[in-house]
Structure 1
Amino acid sequence: MSLDKLKLSKPLVAAMTDAGFLTPKEIQAKTMSRILGGQDVIAVGPEGAGKTTTYVLATLMKLKYAFEEAPRALILVPDAEHVDHVLEQFKLLNRNSTFRILGIDSRGAVETQMNEITDGCDIIVAVPDRARALYLKLALNTNKIQLFIVDNAELIVKKGLQLPVVELANSAYKSQHVVFTEVLHEKLNHMISPFMKDSAATIEVDEIGEKQAEVYPQMLYQVPNFRTKLNLLTLLLSDVEVFDKVVVFVNTRLTAQTVYKNFNHSKEGEISIYRSLFFDDKGYDDIEDFKQNPESRVLIVANENLDALNIDGISFILHFELPEQKETLIQRIVRKDDDEAIAITFSTDIELIEVRKIEQAIGQRMELMELPDELKIADVAPKAKKKSKDDAEDEEERGAAFHEKKASNLKNYNYSAGMKAKMTYKNKKGLT
């Protein structure tokens, strides 16, 4: 497909060509006509899919002319680094400085930024909390915003910046809303549903790179919170027959203690900690001792200050938490010679972005597992407060941004705890 198919202006096509973009990305081909047509859009795609270039081009196309008093496009990004990145993209494609573009983040003084906005700008790229502060000081006029864009929405949710996004979006009530994200989950849907229109289109681009290495079978359990993770871990590992030798990775030694204490220790030494913080906890300083002891079934290991660990021969590699560096997890799941194991990952909504990066790196998706029927879902929501009339109206409007799962993600089974792992494990071993 050529760039002409995007229906861009000749100057923008020339700018794209000069920048080395000769063919449009899939996400650009699927979303550009909808954005230019005025539809609310939720675009989901991995890092490197071309999301930033997509909305930069769309913004430059939709605004058409420059030098209005009030800004006509507001782009919210999670941090100052992303502000700089977006400004660079605009600089690359905004030939002859046709539009006045202003970056707003915590590095500048509020008074200075107020003056810059008052002097006039067409496009603002900002972090949500600073943009909201300027809006409350009456410096940021949102009445003429035509295009309201939220980029890296999953990171904005992770940083807890939902409130300023919603407040600003609702203030720009005449605008078109476009959201770009790497993942779509319940918390993100909860943020965008109050302002996305019923007609919003959800466009997903599933770009998985080439398979980089042979890895163990990958299973993914998506849960709402940490406490439910604990419940799921206890439930799965209660199947002693299936989970005969397990290493459970967590991020800190304190978390290792929490996980350890959550188990019902029916057999002495069955569950232990690798290099425990406390002397009175059952533990090992050498993983080979754990491997050789038939009475020891589960070893909890903290990633904190962890040296290289030989986990060859362990039947189940379970990541209760995702390590800071995806490479840490990947090196554990790469198949070694004829060794057989199953890798299981627990993820909350907030951690899904890391899961996607791991999947991109290994070149395959983890198999999404149904949560067992007998799993207790922990409720960590704050105590309910009396709903106001506005709250009730908001709830009625929610759901507009929700969409059905892709066919590849739909599951029509719900095996009991451990059953799917047991089936996979037996298939790998050639058992009947």
Structure 2
Amino acid sequence: MTWLDKFRLKKGLIQALNEIGFTTPTQIQQKTLARISGGQDVIGVGPEGCGKTTTYILAALNKFTYTPDGVPKVLILVPTKEKVEEVAEKIDQLNRNKTISIVQLFPAPGTEAQMNAMADGADIVVATPDRARAIYLKLGLDVNKIELLVIDDAELIVKQGFQLPVTELANSIPKCQCLVFTEVLHERLNKLIAPFMKQPAIVEVEELGEPQFDTLPQLLYVLPNFGTKVNLLNLFMQDEEVFTKVALFVNTRPTAEKLYASLNNRKNSVALLNPWFFEMDGFTSVQEFRDAATRVLIVVNDAEQKPELNDIPFLIHFELPVEKDIYINRMINRSPGDDNETMAITFATDLELASVKKIEQAIGQKIQVGDLPEDLIIEKERAPAETAEKKAAKIKGEDNAPGAAFHEKKASNAKTYNLKASVKAKMNKQKKH
């Protein structure tokens, strides 16, 4: 299929695509561009490198028919400064209408330069959610004429905790088409985008590579939070006949200490590999663990240490390592001809599913998802400790009388209103909009 066969793209865009070697649309572009051209909201799910960024850039540039007027028509939200720069560079690569103004907004000392750039005119804004919200609240971003809102790397935006600025910006736009692109679609992301997306089409593509090696049998358990992970681990460890020897992998020492205490409290035989406190049971090698009666060996992830894991019946990843190659190296079946009965089990929350997708793409196969036991206790989400401390401080402050430096605002200075974006824009005379 060529670009002219199905998609209503402008000639300048088709020419730019051919010049840079994009002669054939990718799978995700074939499945989404026609829907986007028709005005439908779309959620695109696919691995890194499948063409998601090019898809929404084509959709954005296709919005401009005549000379733009310098008022934002497209808002693209991405998680990091580096991604902002990458997207802006790709827009410039595909854009043949040089009258279109692209402005980048990302965290940097001060906002004056970015406010001035917006005042000079912006047709496409590429921004991190936090900085876009900050500029909006300073009357620098007019969202009233936005026709297309794009949220890219949405799973990372959720992981970084940018739900509030995304929600505020989306709710401030009177009416627009919404596109969301992500490597994985999970419950937390659905909660973020459901309120402002209108009957979106969900398009998912799978691009698994060719298997490079034999891997151990793997099983994935998707769990809502850390507490439920602990409950499932303890539930498994109650079965002493099945879980005779377990290597348990975690990312940090605090997590290792929590699991060590939890398993010990339930009278499980547990030790650490290379313990850092003398009062903790431990071994200096996996071979010592094999020869001992201890059932569980906790291993803190370290790229430099490569323990020999042969003949250990269960390898449990309580947390996925940051580098997927560390995980993959443990999953390689180094003796495929033998009767190796090792089973690899992975616990993952919604926020770790993107890492699971990258691993599946690298090993060339899907990891089977296991059913959660009926007697598993699902822990409720807990408020972060920092939030609890702030609430406590607020309550304490309300109990105390105001100090000497405290003074009530004048009635004329008290803000008891919430202006619409259009009113804010009119109040700022320096802006073109």
Q: TM-score range by the shorter chain?
A: 0.7 to 0.9
Q: Tell me what 2:256 maps to.
A: 256
Q: Tell me what 2:356 maps to.
A: 355
Query: Tell me, what secondary structure is at the counterpart of 1:129?
Result: helix
Query: Tell me, what secondary structure is at the counterpart of 2:351?
Result: coil
Q: CA deviation at 1:264?
A: 4.7
Matches within 5 A, 1:138-217: 138-197=139-198, 199-217=199-217
Counterparts of 1:174 and 1:160, CA distance in 2: 25
Q: Tell me what 1:275 maps to.
A: 274
Q: Tell me what 1:232 maps to.
A: 232
Shifted more, 303-312 versus 276-285: the winner is 303-312
Query: Tell me, what secondary structure is at the counterpart of 2:298?
Result: strand
Deviations 1:331-382 (A, max 9, x none): 0000011333111111011111111111111111111111111000111244
User: Is the contact between residue 219 and residue 346 of structure 2 (CA under 8 Å) also seen in structure 1?
Assistant: yes
TM-score by length of 1: 0.85
Query: Tell me, what secondary structure is at the counterpart of 2:202?
Result: strand
User: Is the contact between residue 70 and residue 122 of structure 1 (CA under 8 Å) also seen in structure 2?
Assistant: yes
Counterparts of 1:311 and 1:155, CA distance in 2: 32
Deviations 1:42-94 (A, max 9, x none): 11111011000000001111232342131100000001010011011101100
- Give the residue type in structure 1 aligned to 2:12: P
- Give the residue type in structure 2 aligned to 1:14: Q
Q: Structure 2: where are the runs of 5+ without partners?
A: 392-433
Q: Tell me what 1:395 maps to.
A: none
Q: Tell me what 1:21 maps to.
A: 22
User: Is the contact between residue 36 and residue 62 of structure 1 (CA under 8 Å) also seen in structure 2?
Assistant: no
Q: Tell me what 1:303 maps to.
A: 301
Q: Tell me what 1:243 maps to.
A: 243
Counterparts of 2:233 and 2:135, CA distance in 1: 46
Query: Tell me, what secondary structure is at the counterpart of 1:254?
Result: helix
Q: Does 1:292 align with 2:291?
A: yes
- Give the residue type in structure 2 aligned to 1:310: E
Counterparts of 1:178 and 1:53, CA distance in 2: 13
Counterparts of 2:65 and 2:154, CA distance in 1: 26
C-alpha RMSD of matched pairs (Å)? 1.8
Counterparts of 2:67 and 2:305, CA distance in 1: 56
- Give the residue type in structure 1 aligned to 2:122: C
Q: Structure 1: where are the runs of 5+ without partners?
A: 386-432
Compared CA separation, residues 26 and 62, structure 1 to 2 (3 A):
same
User: Is the contact between residue 253 and residue 300 of structure 2 (CA under 8 Å) also seen in structure 1?
Assistant: yes
Shifted more, 57-66 versus 161-170: the winner is 57-66
Q: CA deviation at 1:108?
A: 6.1
Counterparts of 1:7 and 1:141, CA distance in 2: 28
Query: Tell me, what secondary structure is at the counterpart of 1:59?
Result: helix
Q: Tell me what 1:334 maps to.
A: 332
Q: CA deviation at 1:306?
A: 5.1
Q: CA deviation at 1:6?
A: 2.5
- Give the residue type in structure 1 aligned to 2:32: T
Deviations 1:278-324 (A, max 9, x none): 2122211121011122x221111101475121111111111001111
Query: Tell me, what secondary structure is at the counterpart of 1:219?
Result: strand
Counterparts of 1:78 and 1:288, CA distance in 2: 44
Shifted more, 122-131 versus 256-265: the winner is 256-265
Q: Tell me what 1:50 maps to.
A: 51
Q: Does 1:132 align with 2:133?
A: yes
Q: Tell me what 1:60 maps to.
A: 61
TM-score by length of 2: 0.85
Query: Tell me, what secondary structure is at the counterpart of 2:288?
Result: helix
Deviations 1:225-268 (A, max 9, x none): 11111001111121111111110000112211110111155667
Counterparts of 1:107 and 1:82, CA distance in 2: 15
Shifted more, 131-140 versus 209-218: the winner is 209-218
User: Is the contact between residue 66 and residue 122 of structure 1 (CA under 8 Å) also seen in structure 2?
Assistant: no
Counterparts of 1:90 and 1:267, CA distance in 2: 59
Q: How many residues get paired?
A: 382
Overall identity of the aligned pairs, in %: 51
Counterparts of 2:153 and 2:135, CA distance in 1: 21
Counterparts of 1:82 and 1:266, CA distance in 2: 46
Q: Tell me what 1:8 maps to.
A: 9
User: Is the contact between residue 6 and residue 28 of structure 1 (CA under 8 Å) also seen in structure 2?
Assistant: no
Counterparts of 1:313 and 1:379, CA distance in 2: 37
